[in-house]
Structure 1
Amino acid sequence: MVFTEFRFLFFFMIVFCVYWALQKHNHRKTWLLICSYIFYGAWDWRFLSLLLLSTVVDYFVGLMLSRPQVDNSTAGQEIQISEAVQNGDKIFSWDALLNKPINQQQRQGWLVLSLVVNLGLLGFFKYYNFFVDSASNLLIFLDLPISINTLQIILPAGISFYTFQTLSYSIDAYLGKLKPIRNFWDFALFVTFFPQLVAGPIVRASTFLPQLLTPKNLNDVDFRGCLTLFLVGYFKKACISDNLSPLVDQYFTNPEVYTVLSCWIAVISFAIQIYCDFSGYSDMAIACAGLLGYKLPLNFNFPYLSNNVTQLWQRWHITLYSWLRDYIYIPLMRMRPKDQRTELFGYKNILILMLTSGLWHGAAWHFVAWGGLNGIALIVHKEWLSWIAPYKRFLPLRNMLGIPLTFYWFCASAIFFRSNDLSSAMRIGKSFVFLNSPGSQNLNLQIGWLFIPLIIMHWAAYKGWFADWWQKIPKWSFAVFYGVLVSTILRFAAINPQPFVYFQF
C-alpha cells in the first residue's frame, strides 16, 4: 500500500479509530502489531516468514546477550538450572537460563549468529544474482567461460531497512549500550511498526523500545502538526515527485536521443523527484506514527541547501548515514589507536563507508560507482578544508558558492544512481558535465519554469516562514484552511500514483 493511495488512508483510518478506542496499552500494542503484519502482508504475504525469522532470531540473541558476563577463566564453571516439576514432568526455566553466566566468546558467537542470519537473508535476496553475474562476467573476461545460473528472486519489500534496524539492536546489546527486552511482542512491534517498515526512517531500538513502555494519551497527540506534516509529505510525493516521474523515465530510457538542455532538465527533475519522493514518505511516516502517539527520528533536513558535500550527507537520509557511521565507520577507525590513525587510513574508511552505502541502495555496479564518487567527494572536501583553513576571510564567499556547487555535484553523481547501467550513466554524465548533445530531440522544456517556485517554497520552508502557523489560528480556521489545501492538492496530484523509489531497496 502506497501512502498516497486511498486504500492506505482507509486502512490507517481503521487502525487509528480502533487503536484509540482500546483502553489498555497492551491491547493497543497488540492491535498495532496485527495491523503491521497485515500491512506488510499486503505486499507479499510469503515474505512475512522472513520478517518473523529475523524478529525471532534477534529477540533470542538479545536474551542470550542479556545474561551476566563472566571471564573466560570461569567459563567452565557450570551453574545448575532450576527445574520446576509438575505432574512428574520437568518444565524448562527461562529465568534460570537467563541468569546463567556467559563468557565473551559465547557472546561473540551469538552476535555472529545475528549477523549471519540477517546479512545472509539480505545477501541472498538482494545480492545473489548481482554477484553471480559479476563472477560470470569476470570469468568470461579471463577467457574462462563457465555457465552460472541466476535465480528468479523477488526482493522482499523493506528488507534493507528492517535488517539494519534489527542488527542495530543485536550490536547495541552486545556492546552493552542497550538492555535487551524480554517482552517478545514489544520487540516484534519494534521490528514491524508499519509507518516506517518498508522505507524508513531506520529506527534504533534505544529510541523506539522505551516508547512502548509508556501508555499513550490522546490528548498528548499534536493533531494539527501531524496532519500538516502528512499533507506536506503527500504534496511532495503526489504532486511533485509523481508528476516528474514520467519525464524522468522518458529521458533515462533513451538518453542518447536528447539534447544537453533536456539532459539538464531531466537530471535536475530527478534530483527533485527523489528528494520529494523519499522525504515525502518520511514526512508521512513520522506523521502517522505521531497520530498513534509515537515519535520517529528526523530523516531529512533540507539537504539541497547544504554548502558542502559533508553537510549534504549529514542532512540526507540521516538515519541511514548515522547507522553507517556508528556501525561501520567508527568501528573501522577504532581498529587503530588514535596516534596511529593517518589521513590515508581515515580516507580509506570513508571510501568503504560510501561504497557500502552505494551497495546498500542497489545490487548493481552503477550504485557502487555512485557510492565511490561520493566517497571521493568527501575526501576531496576534507582536503579542501585543510587547504582553505588559513583564508577565513573568504568564508562568506565559500558558503555562498557552496550551495549551488554542492547541488551540482549531487545532480552529477545522481546520474549514476538513476541510470539503468554503468555505460548509460557514463553517456549521460558526459552530456551533463561536458555539455555534449548526443541527440536532437527535446523533452517538455517548459517544466524548467516550475523549478523557480519550488526553489522559493523550499527556501521559505528552510527559513521557517511557514513554521507553526497551524498552531496560531483558531480550530475552525485550521479546519477550513486544511480542507482547502486538501482539495487543492488533490487537484494537482498525479492521476497514476507511483511506487516510492526507495521501496526497491
Structure 2
Amino acid sequence: MLFNSFAFLLFLIIVFLLYWSVFSKKNTYRNLFLLIVSYVFYGWWDYRFLGLILLSTVVDYFIGRQLERTGIKKKRKLLFILSLSVNLGTLAFFKYYNFFIESWVDAWSILGYHIESYTLHIILPVGISFYTFQTLSYTIDIYRKQLKPTNSFIDFAAFVSFFPQLVAGPIERASHLLPQFEKKFKFDFKLAKSGLHLIIWGLLKKVVIADSCAIYVNEIFKNYDTLNTVSLILGSVYFAFQIYGDFSGYSDMAIGIARLFGFNLKRNFNYPYFSRDIAEFWRNWHISLTTWFRDYLYIPMGGSRVSTIKKVRNTFVVFLVSGFWHGANWTFIVWGFLNALYFLPLLLAKKNRINISTIKMLGIKQTLSVVPRILITFFLTCFAWIFFRADSVEVAFKYISNMVNFNFGIEFLGHERYSVELLLLLVPFVLVEWFNKLYEEPISRNYEFIKLSLCILVIFMFGSYSNPQDFIYFQF
C-alpha cells in the first residue's frame, strides 16, 4: 500500500476517524488498534512477511525482559548474541544469501574452477532492514543498561510495526518513540496541521519531483551507451533529485502521518544538497541511519578517539557497511567506498565538523564563498549516485566513461520536450527549499493557505497517479 495511492488515502481516512472517535481514550485499545492496522498495512504487500516481523518482535521483547531480570554477565551476553543472531541472521538470509553464493561462485571462476550455484528464489520482505535495526537498537540499549524494557507486549509490537515509518523509516529509537505509546493523547489541532503540511510537501516531492525525474533517469540509464555527455550528466543530476524527492518525501509523509495520530518522529533529512562538505551532507542525509551507525558501530569501535590508522579504519568500515546495508550488490559497496574517500581528507585534517550550523541568508561575499563549496559537494554526490543507480559496477564504469568522452550536444533536451519542463520544475523547487532551509518544511508560517493551495495545484497538474511508483527505499 503506497503512500501515494488512493487505496492508502482511503485507509488513512478510515484509520484516523476510528482512532480518534473510538480507540484514543484508553492506551491499551489505542495501541492494539494501531498494531492491527499496521499489520494490515504491512500485509497488504504480502501476508507472508508478517511472520518475520512477528518473529523479530517476539524475540526482542522476551530477550529484553530477560536482560533486565538477570545480572549474570555470561547469560546477558548469550541473550544479546541470540538477539543479534536472529535479527541479523534473518536479514542476511533474505537480503544477502544469493549475493554471497553468487560472489563465492564468481571468485572461484576467476581462479578457473566451476562451482554449481545453489541460489534460491527469495522475495525480499519490504522494510526488513528498517525494522530489524529498530528492534536491534532496543536490545542493544537494554544490554548497555541505557534503557528499561517495556512490560507491555502490545506497546512494543506497535512500536516495531508502527505503519507510518515501518517500511522506510525514519529508524526510530525505543528511547524516543516507545514512551509515546505509553502516553495519553488528546487531539492536537496544531500538531495535526503541521503533519498535514508535511504530508502535502512530501507528496509533492514524491509525485512531482521524484516520479518526474524517474521517467528520464530510467531512459538515460537504459540507453547510456548511445547518449552524449550532457545527457549522461543530466541523468546523474536527475537521479540525485529523484532519490532525494523519493526518500525525503517518504520521510516527510511518515512524520506527517504520525503527527495526525499524536506521535512525533525524528527528522530524517535536513536539506542535504545545501551541504558545504561531504561530512555535512552525511549529517543531513538519512539522519536516522547515519546516527544509528555512529552510535552502534563507529563509537564502539573507538570513533575518532583512537589512532589515525584506526580512525581511517573505522570510517571505511562504517561507510562500507552502510553501502552494504542498502543492497546486495557491489555497486552499493563501491558507493560506500567512494563516500569514505570523500570523507577521509576532512577527517585527517580535523575539518569534518566545521560546518555544523545551517546556512542562513547570505550576502554577496559569503555567497561567492559558500555556493562553490555546495556545488562541489553536490557534484561529488552525483558522481557517487551513478554507482548507486547502476545495475552493476561494470555498467557504472561504462556510464562514466561515456560521460567523460566530452561529446557535447543537446540531443536529449532537444528530443524530449518534457525534459525542459522538468528543469523548469527543479529550479523553483530548489529555490523554495533554499529560502526555507531553516525550517522543516516550507508550507507553514506566512500565507499558509496560499502556499498549501499552490502545492496541491502543482501536485494535481504535474503528479503521476495512473501508475504509482514504488518508493526507492522499499527495496532496502
Please give the TM-score of this superposition, normalised by the length of structure 1: 0.86
Q: 2:37 aligns with which of 35, 38, 59?
A: 35
Q: 2:139 aligns with which of 157, 170, 179?
A: 170
- The answer to whether residue 470 in structure 2 is matched with residue 502 in structure 1 is no
Shift of 1:143: 1.2
Q: Which residue of 2 aligns with 1:24?
A: 26
Say whether the 8 Å CA contact 1:366–1:422 is kept in structure 2. yes
Q: State the distance in 1 between where 2:204 and 2:197 align.
A: 10
Say whether the 8 Å CA contact 2:270–2:440 is kept in structure 1. no
Q: What is the one-letter code of the residue matched to 1:61?
A: I
Distance 1:465 1:126, change over 3 A: closer
Q: 2:378 aligns with which of 400, 407, 410?
A: 407
* SS of structure 2 residue aligned to 1:113: helix
CA-to-partner distance for each residue in 1:403-458, whole Å, 9 max, x for gaps?
A: 000000000000000001101111222344x3544999635352434432222122
Shift of 1:130: 0.4
Q: What is the one-letter code of the residue matched to 1:453?
A: P
Q: Which residue of 2 aligns with 1:141?
A: 110
Shift of 1:67: 1.0
Q: 2:50 aligns with which of 32, 48, 60?
A: 48
Q: What is the one-letter code of the residue matched to 2:16?
A: F
Shift of 1:212: 1.1
Q: State the distance in 2 between where 1:234 and 1:57 align.
A: 35
Say whether the 8 Å CA contact 1:258–1:439 is kept in structure 2. no
Q: State the distance in 2 between where 1:469 and 1:502 align.
A: 27
Say whether the 8 Å CA contact 1:300–1:318 is kept in structure 2. yes
Say whether the 8 Å CA contact 1:221–1:290 is kept in structure 2. no
* SS of structure 2 residue aligned to 1:66: helix
Shift of 1:486: 2.5
Q: What is the one-letter code of the residue matched to 1:27?
A: Y
CA-to-partner distance for each residue in 1:451-493, whole Å, 9 max, x for gaps?
A: 32222122122155975745x66xxx84x87456424422221
Say whether the 8 Å CA contact 1:126–1:155 is kept in structure 2. yes
Q: 2:68 aligns with which of 66, 69, 72?
A: 66
Q: What is the one-letter code of the residue matched to 1:430?
A: S
Q: Which residue of 2 aligns with 1:490?
A: 460
Say whether the 8 Å CA contact 1:29–1:189 is kept in structure 2. yes
Shift of 1:293: 0.4
More off after superposition, 447-456 vs 159-168? 447-456
Q: Which residue of 2 aligns with 1:362?
A: 327
Distance 1:68 1:294, change over 3 A: same
Say whether the 8 Å CA contact 2:319–2:340 is kept in structure 1. yes
Say whether the 8 Å CA contact 1:162–1:202 is kept in structure 2. yes
Distance 1:247 1:54, change over 3 A: same
1:28-427 to structure 2, matched below 5 A, reads 28-69=30-71, 103-219=72-188, 222-333=191-302, 338=305, 341-385=306-350, 399-427=370-398
Q: Unpaired runs of 5+ in structure 2?
A: 355-364
Q: Which residue of 2 aligns with 1:93?
A: none
Say whether the 8 Å CA contact 2:443–2:451 is kept in structure 1. no
Shift of 1:399: 3.5
* SS of structure 1 residue aligned to 2:301: helix
Q: State the distance in 1 between where 2:329 and 2:335 align.
A: 10
Q: State the distance in 1 between where 2:348 and 2:372 align.
A: 18
Distance 1:204 1:399, change over 3 A: same
- The answer to whether residue 428 in structure 2 is matched with residue 453 in structure 1 is yes
Q: What is the one-letter code of the residue matched to 1:442?
A: F
Say whether the 8 Å CA contact 2:32–2:154 is kept in structure 1. yes
Q: Unpaired runs of 5+ in structure 1?
A: 70-102
Say whether the 8 Å CA contact 2:201–2:443 is kept in structure 1. no
* SS of structure 1 residue aligned to 2:45: helix
CA-to-partner distance for each residue in 1:181-231, whole Å, 9 max, x for gaps?
A: 111110000100000000000000000111111111013652221111110
Say whether the 8 Å CA contact 1:430–1:436 is kept in structure 2. no
Say whether the 8 Å CA contact 1:257–1:441 is kept in structure 2. no
Q: State the distance in 2 between where 1:365 and 1:467 align.
A: 37
Distance 1:463 1:24, change over 3 A: closer
Say whether the 8 Å CA contact 1:289–1:295 is kept in structure 2. yes
Q: State the distance in 1 between where 2:160 and 2:265 align.
A: 13
- What is the aligned length? 457
Distance 1:373 1:32, change over 3 A: same
Distance 1:489 1:449, change over 3 A: closer
Q: State the distance in 2 between where 1:145 and 1:60 align.
A: 45
Distance 1:353 1:469, change over 3 A: closer
Please give the TM-score of this superposition, normalised by the length of structure 2: 0.91
Say whether the 8 Å CA contact 2:197–2:444 is kept in structure 1. no
Distance 1:439 1:255, change over 3 A: farther
- The answer to whether residue 36 in structure 2 is matched with residue 2 in structure 1 is no
Give % identity: 42
Q: State the distance in 2 between where 1:207 and 1:466 align.
A: 22
Q: State the distance in 2 between where 1:420 and 1:412 align.
A: 15
Q: State the distance in 2 between where 1:234 and 1:107 align.
A: 45
Shift of 1:264: 1.1
Q: What is the one-letter code of the residue matched to 2:341?
A: I
Which entry has the higher C-alpha Rg, 1 or 2? 1
Say whether the 8 Å CA contact 1:191–1:197 is kept in structure 2. yes
Q: CA RMSD in A?
A: 2.4
Q: State the distance in 1 between where 2:451 and 2:207 align.
A: 19
CA-to-partner distance for each residue in 1:50-94, whole Å, 9 max, x for gaps?
A: 01000000001101111141xxxxxxxxxxxxxxxxxxxxxxxxx
